[in-house]
Amino acid sequence: MQPDVELIRVTKRYGGAAAVDDVSLAIPAGSYCCLLGPSGCGKTSTLRMIAGHESITEGDILLGGRNVTDLPPAARGTAMMFQSYALFPHLTALENVAFGPRMRGVGKAERLAEAAEFLRLVQLERMADRLPAQLSGGQQQRVALARALITRPRVLLLDEPLSALDPFLRGQMREELKRLQRELGITFIHVTHGQEEAMALSDLAVVMDHGRIAQAAPPREIFERPASAFVARFIGGHNVLDLPEGRFAIRTDRTRLAPAPGGPVLPGHVTAVEYQGAAVRVVVRGAGGQAAEALLPDAVFHAAPVEPGAAVTLGWDAAAAHPLPATAAA
Ligand SMILES: Nc1ncnc2c1ncn2[C@@H]1O[C@H](COP(=O)(O)OP(=O)(O)OP(=O)(O)O)[C@@H](O)[C@H]1O
């Protein structure tokens, strides 16, 4: 299938430094793509270049096979949803959603009917007459979403859409975004700091580091086969260990406080024990000062509990150790 969005050797320089450095990426049509990485890695610059809000220093961006590199935002077929919802405070929810069609000259009755349909899509039809100040953060965000979707974009761009919400609302809104993307069948590109968010949402997760793509793959592949120590550390859930056989990423949930028969081991001392409900996280300072941890099912931990200071030997099945390139920084 032809990719919906294609970045071909895209670079963005602000002054001298490259914020996005020779990035190539193909995002399949109708997929949920998350751009993730630490602060300053170039996620937002990449999104803004796709939207047309930022010029491209070098390279090309194709949307649906069309080169949009030099097109203004409105001519691209994208819509952007921002972290701050940027609703008009003096307009009702319905009028906010109807704003796009109003600008396009759609008649009042028609645009309000269309806006009502999109408010229904985000399950907010009962709040149609409220002003933004009379809505919760999550509700305001749904209005912003409806306002972006009413323009019928082929690609919806979302810049940290969940970061202003409390954890409960964030979970709800996450489900909502995924449902909408599935129902509408359009491509979503979503910038996030959060690996959990990217894991939950994406068909394609793109981990960025210093303006480059560290790995682009379905989230399960990234979790099971991180391409570098940076990726393994960033997505979490892994110990990155330098062993005599080389450098490995070993999932913390496959690490135990006992040697696996014939498997590798790391002796050390417990430095912290953190109860997490279904699991207990045991942090260990291993031989040579390497930090590692074991995420144990609660029953396993409580069958043989340990305390900080205890001498332990971490073990794992040899098959659970994923080899990493030795040169990877970070
Ligand atoms: N308008 C600008 N002028 C100069 N430098 C910029 C500008 N916008 C971004 N940068 C720099 O480009 C780099 C990438 O920034 P960008 O906002 O794309 O990163 P990010 O991954 O989205 O970060 P965050 O998660 O903090 O939003 C950073 O080093 C940033 O300081």
- Ranges 38-52, 166-180, 296-310: which has the least confidence: 166-180
| Amino acid sitting at position 240 | V
Nearest to 241 by CA among 166, 316, 146: 316
Q: Are residues 131 and 217 in the same domain?
A: yes
CA 219 to chain centre: 10
Q: Are residues 251 and 204 in the same domain?
A: no
Q: pTM of the prediction?
A: 0.91
| Mode of pairing for the β-strands spanning 78-81 and 155-159 | parallel
What is the C-alpha separation between 118 and 115, in angstroms, rounded?
5
What pLDDT does 1 receive? Answer: 62
Q: Are residues 32 and 178 in the same domain?
A: yes
Q: Are residues 169 and 288 in the same domain?
A: no
Q: Are residues 209 and 75 in the same domain?
A: yes
Q: Cα(146) to centroid of ligand 1, in Å?
A: 28
Q: Are residues 220 and 246 in the same domain?
A: no
Task: Give the residue-averaged pLDDT of 95-110.
Answer: 91
Task: Give the residue-averaged pLDDT of 120-136.
Answer: 91
Pocket flag, ligand 1, residue 207 (CB < 6 Å): no
Q: Are residues 83 and 190 in the same domain?
A: yes
What pLDDT does 161 receive? Answer: 86
pLDDT-derived band at 167, boundaries 50, 70, 90: confident
pLDDT of residue 166 exceeding 90, the answer is no
pLDDT of residue 215 exceeding 90, the answer is yes
What pLDDT does 21 receive? Answer: 96
pLDDT-derived band at 17, boundaries 50, 70, 90: confident
What is the C-alpha separation between 312 and 314, in angstroms, rounded?
6
Measured from the CA of 191, which atom of ligand 1 is nearest? 22
- Ranges 7-21, 259-273, 296-310: which has the least confidence: 259-273
pLDDT of residue 300 exceeding 90, the answer is yes
Task: Give the residue-averaged pLDDT of 278-298.
Answer: 94
What pLDDT does 330 receive? Answer: 44
Q: Are residues 149 and 76 in the same domain?
A: yes
pLDDT > 70: percent of the chain: 97
Residue range 22-34, pLDDT digits in tens: 999 999 999 999 9
pLDDT of residue 189 exceeding 70, the answer is yes
What pLDDT does 165 receive? Answer: 79
User: 249-253: long-range contacts at Cβ-Cβ below 8 A with a sequence spacing of 24 or more?
Assistant: 249/321, 249/322, 249/324, 250/292, 250/316, 250/320, 250/321, 250/322, 251/320, 252/281, 252/292, 252/293, 252/294, 252/295, 253/279, 253/295
What pLDDT does 329 receive? Answer: 46
pLDDT of residue 328 exceeding 50, the answer is no
As for how many domains the chain has, the answer is 2
Ligand 1 pocket: which of 7, 21, 45 to mutate (most atoms within 8 A of CB): 45
What pLDDT does 252 receive? Answer: 96
Task: Give the residue-averaged pLDDT of 224-233.
Answer: 96
Nearest residue by C-alpha to atom 28 in ligand 1: 40
Residue 198 lies in a domain: yes
Q: What is the CATH number of the domain that holds 155?
A: 3.40.50.300
What pLDDT does 35 receive? Answer: 97
Range of the domain at 158: 3-224
Q: Are residues 196 and 263 in the same domain?
A: no
Residue 233 lies in a domain: no
Q: Cα(43) to centroid of ligand 1, in Å?
A: 8
Residue 271 lies in a domain: yes
What pLDDT does 271 receive? Answer: 97
Q: What is the CATH number of the domain that holds 256?
A: 2.40.50.100
Nearest residue by C-alpha to atom 5 in ligand 1: 14
Residue 330 lies in a domain: no
pLDDT of residue 309 exceeding 50, the answer is yes
Tell me which range, 101-105, 174-178, 271-275, is most confidently predicted by mean pLDDT: 271-275
Q: Cα(39) to centroid of ligand 1, in Å?
A: 8
Residue range 60-101, pLDDT digits in tens: 999 999 999 999 998 999 999 876 668 999 999 999 999 988
Q: Among the three residues 164, 190, 224, which one is the final residue of a domain in this structure?
A: 224
Pocket flag, ligand 1, residue 42 (CB < 6 Å): yes
Residue 229 lies in a domain: no
Using only the alpha carbons of the chain, give its radius of gyration. 23
Q: Cα(20) to centroid of ligand 1, in Å?
A: 9
Q: Are residues 13 and 47 in the same domain?
A: yes
What pLDDT does 182 receive? Answer: 93
Pocket flag, ligand 1, residue 229 (CB < 6 Å): no
Nearest residue by C-alpha to atom 3 in ligand 1: 14
Nearest residue by C-alpha to atom 11 in ligand 1: 19
Residue range 237-263, pLDDT digits in tens: 999 999 888 999 999 999 999 888 888
Q: Are residues 208 and 284 in the same domain?
A: no
Task: Give the residue-averaged pLDDT of 272-282.
Answer: 96
- Kindly report the average pLDDT of the chain as a whole number: 92
Q: Cα(222) to centroid of ligand 1, in Å?
A: 24
Pocket flag, ligand 1, residue 139 (CB < 6 Å): no
Pair 189, 157: CB distance under 8 Å: yes
Q: Are residues 203 and 296 in the same domain?
A: no
What is the C-alpha separation between 259 and 36, in angstroms, rounded?
35
